[in-house]
Amino acid sequence: MVRYLDPSDSVFALWKRMPPPANALQEGIYREQQVLVVKQQLAMGLINIFNGLLVAVGAAAKAPLGNVAIWYTPILLMGLIQIASWARLRNAPPPEKVSGSYLRKAELAALFIGIVWGSATFFLRGTGDTAHLFFIWMMQAGMAAGLASMLSSVPRVTARFAFACLIPVTVINFSRGGDYALTIALLSLVFLAALVHGSINGYRQLKSLVSTVHDSSEARENLADAIESSNDAFAFYNADREIMIANARHRNWFGTGDPEFELGEESIPVLQKSGRWLMRSTRETGSGGAVVVHTDITALKTRERELIEAQREAVEADAAKSRFLSTMSHELRTPMNIILGFSKLMNGDSKIRLSDADIREYADNIHSSGTHLLKLINDIIDYSKVGLDRITINPTEIDTASLLTESITLAAGFESKSSLDNFDVRVSSRLAKINVDETAIKRILINLITNAIRFNREDCKVVIRAGVNPEGQPFIAIRDFGPGIPENKLERVFEAFYQGDSDLDRQYGGTGLGLTLCRHLARLLSGDIVLKSRLGVGTTSILVLPVSVMTGDTASKGSNSVAPSLPDASAQSPQLTSNASPIA
């Protein structure tokens, strides 16, 4: 790696070609030097014009006028050029990028004007009078000193002018001889060395100042970059709560508004309207300001919610297991005892002689118990299928009246009801056909109708209505006039293995999975099960279906007709409508 040589830090480096800036620090130095040169152009131009004029007037008595004119003309032109350059650039802002070309031009200009001032020893010496030569040397030395003072931090410019201006008088005085020739020559060399050395020192001071500013600026940029790159939202407020620094994350999260905070508060979680959780930390600064940092803890909060939900599910699963064991220990033991007991009595080795009527009765009891066991096992299997998402939904077009007729027949058979006269069924013409999975909806309806039969009063009919509500939502509602369900248990009855009464001799049996399966299946169909009930009056189970189940024919048919009224769980008797067609 080639070491960079500072072009202004030594006498040797001053005479090498000025390179482009090698780094940001050198570019900053070039910029400051260029700004200084531009500012001093007016003063240097005026000094060249008026000092040159004074020298020309003073030398006119000793030197030929032609020589004076030849010498002064380039000085006058250079002075005018310098004034014009100042006028053109004086209002221009400092350049963002500096290549060094302007400074190289300034070096050439300084060398040229230095040569012209140095040539005064030749053009204006005239008769060679010692006092006259001393006058010229004093003017040359004064010009070199003046330029060095104005451009003290630009040694490359001052050195070129000073060398070009003072070396000729030094050489001539060495060669001329005389009482003061050697003294003036040595003074010129010492004066030249002092000017160059002072200019280099001025440059080093400029370099130190620019280096300090550059390091400070670089530190601020690094700090700003670190703050901007942070995953946290960072903001600094002054004592008046005006925001001074804010990174992109803070602007993205809070926009133009600022978060409300109190000094001295510990780290606290904050929920934004967007649903993001932030941990806010606030610290007071020594000047009375505040540093506020917000850390995104949404993932942690999500994980926390997941853990809480998992814990809740574990508790529910444990409770469900307890309910399952409690329920199954009774539901499975009772029919099994019946089957084993009656089958033993019917065994040929039994000492009890059974009549044909007893055998038929025992066989019926065994069959009923076996059917009950099969239903329990089917419920458990179906529940496991739903939980494992193993049920496939295949929608087909179904006649609603036929679907209800078949479901009622099967449910009545399960509950040992041979007559279908205990049902009041009406179907709206708008829901004459539905496009739905037949197995799933039939299972839902059988469970709901079975419950209605089981809990309904003997002197009342089970009311079933199928239609479309005023909001355009298809439904099938089943109403019984049983004891009803307390309001605080309307959702609990959907829990797996839940039993309304927990006594071992409870009046109604079952696994407690019927409504659970119904809701799972309904939601697989993009619908739901809603219960409405009133104690002592009855319960309405409503299967709400998605609008998509309505076929093209039924969706447009009877758009102005009135759907069958939804059975009201609080009414003592169902309200029927005339346009709803009963099942044949």
- 569 has pLDDT over 50: no
What is the average per-residue pLDDT within 54-58?
88
Confidence at residue 38, expressed as pLDDT on a 0 to 100 scale = 92
User: What is the percent of the chain with per-residue pLDDT over 90, rounded to a whole number?
Assistant: 21
Confidence at residue 14, expressed as pLDDT on a 0 to 100 scale = 87
Confidence at residue 564, expressed as pLDDT on a 0 to 100 scale = 47
Separation of alpha carbons 250 and 233, rounded Å:
4
Side by side, the strands of the sheet bearing 243-246 are: 243-246, 233-237, 290-296, 277-284, 268-271
Dihedral of alpha carbons 36, 39, 44, 45, sign: positive
Which ranges of 255-399 does DSSP label H, i.e. alpha helix? 298-345, 356-387
Confidence at residue 232, expressed as pLDDT on a 0 to 100 scale = 82
- Of the two residues 191 and 331, the one the predictor is more confident about is 191
pLDDT tens sequence across 214-271: 888 888 878 778 877 777 888 888 877 778 788 878 877 777 666 676 665 667 777 7
Residue 576 confidence class, pLDDT cut points 50, 70, 90: very low
Average pLDDT in the chain: 79
- 113 has pLDDT over 80: yes
582: Cα within 13 Å, side-chain hemisphere: 9
From the CA atom positions of the chain, what is the Rg in Å? 53
Separation of alpha carbons 411 and 402, rounded Å:
14
Q: Which CATH number fits domain 391-582: 1.10.10.10, 3.20.20.450, 3.30.565.10, 3.30.1330.10?
A: 3.30.565.10
302-388, CATH topology level: Helix Hairpins (1.10.287)
Range with lowest mean pLDDT among 9-23, 342-356, 531-545: 342-356
Instruction: Name all contacts of 217-223 with Cβ < 8 Å and 24+ positions apart.
Output: 218/24
For residue 141, count CB atoms less than 10 angstroms from its CB and return exposed for 0-12, middle for 13-18, buried for 19 or more: buried
Residue 70 confidence class, pLDDT cut points 50, 70, 90: very high
Separation of alpha carbons 485 and 500, rounded Å:
9
Scan for tokens 């060249």, then name that residue.
48
Residue 108 confidence class, pLDDT cut points 50, 70, 90: very high
Using an 8 Å Cβ cutoff, are 438 and 403 in contact? yes
Using an 8 Å Cβ cutoff, are 22 and 30 in contact? no
pLDDT tens sequence across 404-435: 998 888 888 777 775 677 899 999 999 999 99
- 169 has pLDDT over 80: no
Residue 302 confidence class, pLDDT cut points 50, 70, 90: confident
pLDDT tens sequence across 491-513: 778 776 665 554 433 444 555 66
- One-letter amino acid identity for 385? K
What is the average per-residue pLDDT within 300-311?
84
Residues shown for the chain: 584
Domain boundaries of the chain, sorted by first residue: 11-224, 233-296, 302-388, 391-582
Paired strand residues for 466: 427, 476
Phi–psi pair at 578, nearest 5 degrees? -75, -25
Highest mean pLDDT: which range of 189-193, 480-484, 557-561: 480-484
Task: Dump the DSSP string for 335-354.
Answer: HHHHHHHHHHHTSTT-SS--
Task: Dump the DSSP string for 402-453.
Answer: HHHHHHHHHHHHHTT---STTEEEEE-GGGSEEEE-HHHHHHHHHHHHHHHH
Confidence at residue 388, expressed as pLDDT on a 0 to 100 scale = 43
Q: Is the pTM of this model over 0.75?
A: no
Range with lowest mean pLDDT among 133-142, 215-224, 288-297, 383-392: 383-392
Q: Is 534 left (phi over 0), alpha (psi -120 to 50) or beta?
A: beta
The 3-state secondary structure of 473-529, one letter per residue: CEEEEEEECCCCCCHHHCCHHHCCCCCCCCCCCCCCCCCCCHHHHHHHHHHHCCCEE
Confidence at residue 500, expressed as pLDDT on a 0 to 100 scale = 56
What is the average per-residue pLDDT within 441-451?
88
Instruction: Give the number of other Cβ atoms within 10 Å of residue 189's Cβ.
Output: 14
Look at residue 572 and give its three-state secondary structure.
Answer: coil
Question: Which helix H or strand E contains 225, and what residues bound it?
Answer: helix 181-229
Q: Is 264 left (phi over 0), alpha (psi -120 to 50) or beta?
A: left
pLDDT tens sequence across 516-529: 888 888 888 889 99
Strand 277-284 versus strand 268-271 pairing type: antiparallel
